[in-house]
Amino acid sequence: MNAVFLAACSPRRGGNSDFAASLVRLTIGAPCETRRVAEEGVRPCVSCGFCDGRPGECSLDGPGDGARVLFERMCRSPLSVVVSPVYFYHLPAQAKAWIDRTQRFWACGKKPGEGRPVTAVLLGARPRGEKLFEGAERTLRYMALTLGLTWVEPLRLYGLDAPGDLAASPEAADRVRDFASELSRRFLA
């Protein structure tokens, strides 16, 4: 079995997202591969049209650009979890640039994800907000659709701003562990 894929989307090391990813990794009960999206050198889509005639391919692929490898890992994994802070109602720029590169798969007849599940742990600094996660979730759902993955309802955590807030909240940490346990039960048993 391939490892569970964890996409750590914070551009900063050592924050709540990294801690959440470590909780998922320790709880899930299966081998995990964690990749830090901000460190993969993903260049943003330039709308060059290259993938229009070559579905699944991108003119930006090459040495130093990690988008293709991230997609391959995600689409071969039995389960993928995107762990991300929410910045101004959306994903960090580096993660959004990676997701924009799924455009290459839009015209593919056979989608590479083959229905495998993908979900997210989203962390917001605001203590409340009806639409706080809406932009990030919508983008992640369309990424799943384009890759042929099955979107699974994410975990949303509010009020985690400072780097140690998740570690200092046993209740929030337990929610992450419970979420990871449920994912394991549903998709890895």
Q: What are phi and psi of 82, to 5 degrees?
A: -95, 125
What's residue 184's pLDDT? 97
Q: What is the pLDDT of residue 27?
A: 98
pLDDT at 107: 84
Share the mean pLDDT of the chain: 96
Task: Provide the pLDDT confidence category of residue 15 given band limits of 50, 70 and 90.
Answer: very high
Q: Are 151 and 187 in contact (CB under 8 A)?
A: no
Residues of 113-125 as b/e, b for ≥16 C-beta within 10 angstroms?
beebbbbbbbbbb
Q: What is the pLDDT of residues 20-70, one digit of tens each?
A: 999 999 999 999 999 999 999 999 999 999 999 999 999 999 999 999 999
CB 157, CB 166: distance < 8 Å: yes
Q: Return the closest-CA partner of residue 56 out of 14, 100, 112.
A: 112
Residues 64-90 have pLDDT tens digits of 999 999 999 999 999 999 999 999 999
In the structure, what pLDDT confidence band is assigned to residue 1 with cuts at 50, 70 and 90? low
